[in-house]
């Protein structure tokens, strides 16, 4: 059963589980269950995607009740009036602790044309764990709040890898040795990227809405283990 965060006559917001594909596509490959199908069955009605999340990413996903609402929400995403906030755990401690990654990215095809892409981030907490890996006796990790200003394919994952602080659990752009460390020592078998909050305007009333998706047990237990807290001041400076 999918966790529904908000439901009305125009839209539904669900807390997408990690490792559940949103819909059928060439990128997904061998998946046999899809969020959009599960939601249709759960509510007994047709639904239409307003945007996407990567299969490995969890968090707030907006789904429209009809094609017109999906188009209206899509315009907000395309117009960059939707404010997206992600919680993410990365290897290393970024310098500076707060900044903007401004680096053009291609679409789903790596050989495609690159388009401008910007991600703001703010370091929320850090830890150094006494586990030897490679030539280092201890490993450093950081908990970040990330705000993509554009919506490119795998933007946050690619941007953080670009600055050499890849997302933990990212099989495509991350570090296999650190991903294995999290499985072995922390029992964490998911990518640590979560679409935490979404600010947008209701497509019918125009009223401002803020939706927040709680962390799953795997992500929440890791925060508890590292004594990391969710951010109180929920914006990266510059907004």
The residues annotated with a catalytic role in the active site are 54
Classify residue 198 as left (phi > 0), alpha (psi -120 to 50) or beta: beta
Intra-chain end-to-end CA distance of the chain, in Å: 36
Q: Which two tokens stand for residue 196?
A: 């935490």
Q: Which two tokens stand for residue 159?
A: 């941007």
Report the distance separating Cα 183 and Cα 190, nearest Å. Answer: 9
Report the distance separating Cα 125 and Cα 65, nearest Å. Answer: 39
Report the distance separating Cα 60 and Cα 114, nearest Å. Answer: 27
Nearest by Cα to 59 from 193, 225, 161: 193
Nearest by Cα to 86 from 60, 64, 104: 60
SS3 24: coil
- Cβ(66)–Cβ(186) under 8 Å? no
- Cβ(175)–Cβ(183) under 8 Å? no
Q: φ, ψ for residue 9 (rounded to 5)?
A: -70, -15
């Amino acid at each position: 059963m999918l966790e529904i965060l908000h439901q009305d006559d125009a839209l539904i917001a669900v807390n997408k589980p990690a490792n559940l594909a949103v819909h059928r596509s060439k990128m997904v490959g061998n998946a046999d269950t899809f969020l959009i199908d599960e939601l249709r069955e759960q509510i007994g009605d047709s639904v239409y995607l307003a945007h996407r999340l990567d299969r490995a990413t969890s968090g707030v996903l907006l789904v429209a009740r009809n094609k017109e609402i999906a188009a209206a929400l899509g315009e907000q995403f395309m117009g960059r009036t939707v404010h997206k906030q992600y919680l993410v755990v990365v290897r290393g401690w970024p310098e500076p602790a707060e900044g903007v990654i401004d680096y053009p990215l291609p679409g789903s095809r790596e050989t495609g044309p690159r388009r401008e892409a910007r991600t703001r981030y703010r370091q929320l907490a850090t830890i150094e764990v006494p586990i030897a890996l490679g030539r280092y006796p201890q490993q450093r990790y950081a908990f970040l709040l990330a705000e993509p200003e554009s919506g490119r394919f795998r933007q946050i994952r690619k941007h953080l890898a670009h600055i050499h602080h890849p997302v933990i659990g990212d099989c495509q752009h991350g570090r296999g040795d650190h991903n294995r460390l999290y499985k072995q020592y922390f029992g964490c078998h998911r990518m640590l990227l979560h679409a935490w909050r979404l600010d947008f305007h209701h497509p019918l009333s125009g009223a401002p809405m803020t939706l927040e998706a709680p962390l799953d047990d795997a992500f929440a237990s890791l925060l508890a283990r590292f004594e990391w807290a969710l951010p109180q001041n929920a914006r990266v400076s510059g907004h």
